[in-house]
Structure 1
Amino acid sequence: MALGQYLKLGGVVTDPSLPFFYPEDSRINKGSLLLVNFANSLGYEGSNPPITGTLVYNLAWRAAKAMIGTGDRTSLSLVANVPFGAAEGKLEFTPKKGLHVITSQVNMGQGKGFSMLIPPAIMAYLHQYSDTHQYYFRISERLTRQPDLNSGDDNRLVIASNSGASGNYLARMAKGGSLPNASTANSFGGSFSSQSATALGNLFRNVATKAWTGTKQANPADITNRFISVGPVGAYQSIDVNKSSSTVLYEIYIEDLTVSGRTYAQAHAAELAIHNADFGAGGRFSGDTIPTDPSTLP
């Protein structure tokens, strides 16, 4: 029999500086817009990997709703797109419930990559405040097969205008680095990568933005380049055919730093500490193994 103690306290809490408790994950704060973690039972339902149309739940949906003013657990979550066949790619869960995405470097054609679309309401929010708020994006993953080292972009995160996406974007993570960067000083808030984005092994990377780089698309509802991806997808799909990496996706996180009150340095330090604890001795992803060697899918 489970035993516990429940205490109900009287009074009203009025101190606005006290953090709010979000039951899905203790690190969520009032600026958290998106948190994806397949290992969290509230973030993914079921034991089979997603198929096209599967909801990947946003653990930070309550905080996102408070900022946006509308939405629910379903509408503020991501939708998976899995357009490839058995010869083109494979999805599987690792023993620690990371999502292993294997992409063929021989048979995967345009638009056949795995992707998860950022919810429309969150995209509209990012678009609306992109020139006055600072945003923080981070991904924890484990590369299991290198991308083509000579060509292709191997995008992992893209939020960009449909036209001229390479120069008109909010944020992007690719094998050559994250954007914006120091050369676009008006929009760059900071970035970090624990190792080269083409090296095998655990990878932590982030980027912070304080403006839209280039021309912002007028209507956010029309933006199709708004996804987390592995393989040829969206604006860059033609150059990534048969050139993409294979990787295990563990965690994706987006925060509005202006709302949370954190600086880039503070968010970076806190998220890196979480990543290091997750993959360090005794961590929830420590010692994770790969069920299928990507080389079995040429």
Structure 2
Amino acid sequence: MGQQILLQGANFVDEKYPILRADARITNGSLLLLDFSHSLTSIAGVPSDGTIIPNIAFETANQIIGSGDKNTLGCLFKNTLAAANGKLERTSKGALHGIISNTSRNQKTAGFEINSSTSALLWNYIKNNLSRNYAVFIWSYVTRVTPATSNLNDSLAFVNSGGAANNYLLPVSVQNSVGVKRSSLNAANGFTGSLNANNALNNGFPFYWGQTPPYQSLNPNTGKSMILYSYHLVDVAKSGKTFAELDAIDAALFNDFFSSGGRFYGDTWSDPASVLA
């Protein structure tokens, strides 16, 4: 990443890139941006279970929440995959590829978690502001489809795990077809449903390979093999833009990143069929 220099008196008015930031995707409302190819992530190879994944948008998240750095505003990485269940690898462009067995996943998963311990700042902000307008943008590539036909949620930002199907915030299912995907979702009224009996919020699951934990037992041997390029969580009102405006900006950047000359153009990875049945 190049050096960032403050230009006194400069006024950047381009609507696509209105402010010089650590990443073009970041807005005034950005709470969390995950991207393994970004220099601020600074993780070599596949992260081990329990690793904290840095938040690239930590500066704007800090301004919204009031404190925190790239690690205290980051996510916990969890990985319970055995060799027969799945394999994680980095692509040639640095993204994280999860190859999931379609025959022996055995309810094991790998992915990101926001909780009251390792992600307390981000956790408490969302828990204390459940009715706010949130949006999520996910860039991914499906390298092998799953034969499953239901409960295909790859992302549940926050849920009441006792009844996740009806009590949730931002459930996103990446389209079950091979190829590059851009997923976007707006929760204009915040959390849907109700919290658990203790009026508490269970763990957040931004992105998982296989199934997000509340759905593990429903489809124990299925899950898309996917590459995660970008996960971006935004407080829409704090961004100063409408969801439609944010979505259009994200779509334009998506095209830039994956077109010729873009960061993710020409990426390569292992064929899932050659790794796991």
Give the TM-score normalised by structure 1.
Answer: 0.81
Aligned residues: 263
Equivalent residue for 2:268? 289
Shift of 1:264: 0.8
Q: Kindly tell me: are residues 146 and 234 of structure 1, through their superposed partners in 2, closer, same or farther at Cα, counting changes over 3 Å?
A: same
Q: Choose 1 or 2 for highest CA Rg.
A: 1
Gaps of 5+ in 2: 12-17
CA distance in 1 between counterparts of 2:147 and 2:7 reads 58
CA distance in 2 between counterparts of 1:71 and 1:223 reads 22
Q: Kindly tell me: are residues 87 and 25 of structure 1, through their superposed partners in 2, closer, same or farther at Cα, counting changes over 3 Å?
A: same
Is the Cα–Cα contact under 8 Å of residues 160 and 171 in structure 1 kept in the other structure?
no
> What is the 5 A alignment of 1:48-197?
48-110=45-107, 112-118=108-114, 119-131=119-131, 133-150=132-149, 152-158=150-156, 159-174=158-173, 197=175
Is the Cα–Cα contact under 8 Å of residues 127 and 201 in structure 2 kept in the other structure?
no
Shift of 1:243: 1.2
CA distance in 1 between counterparts of 2:236 and 2:212 reads 28
CA distance in 2 between counterparts of 1:73 and 1:37 reads 13
Q: Deviations over 1:65-90 (max 9, x none)?
A: 11111222211111111111111110
CA distance in 2 between counterparts of 1:71 and 1:172 reads 26
Q: Provide the secondary structure at the position in 1 that maps to 2:162.
A: coil
Q: Kindly tell me: are residues 8 and 224 of structure 1, through their superposed partners in 2, closer, same or farther at Cα, counting changes over 3 Å?
A: closer
Gaps of 5+ in 1: 14-18, 176-196
Equivalent residue for 2:185? 207
Equivalent residue for 2:258? 279
Q: Provide the secondary structure at the position in 1 that maps to 2:172.
A: strand
Q: Provide the secondary structure at the position in 1 that maps to 2:206.
A: strand
Shift of 1:239: 1.3
Percent identity, aligned pairs only, is 32
Q: Deviations over 1:147-168 (max 9, x none)?
A: 1243x42321112112211001
Shift of 1:250: 0.3
Shift of 1:21: 4.2
CA distance in 2 between counterparts of 1:207 and 1:266 reads 13
Q: Which amino acid aligns with 2:128?
A: Q
Please give the root-mean-square deviation of Cα atoms over the aligned residues, in Å.
2.5
CA distance in 1 between counterparts of 2:178 and 2:126 reads 32
Give the TM-score normalised by structure 2.
Answer: 0.86
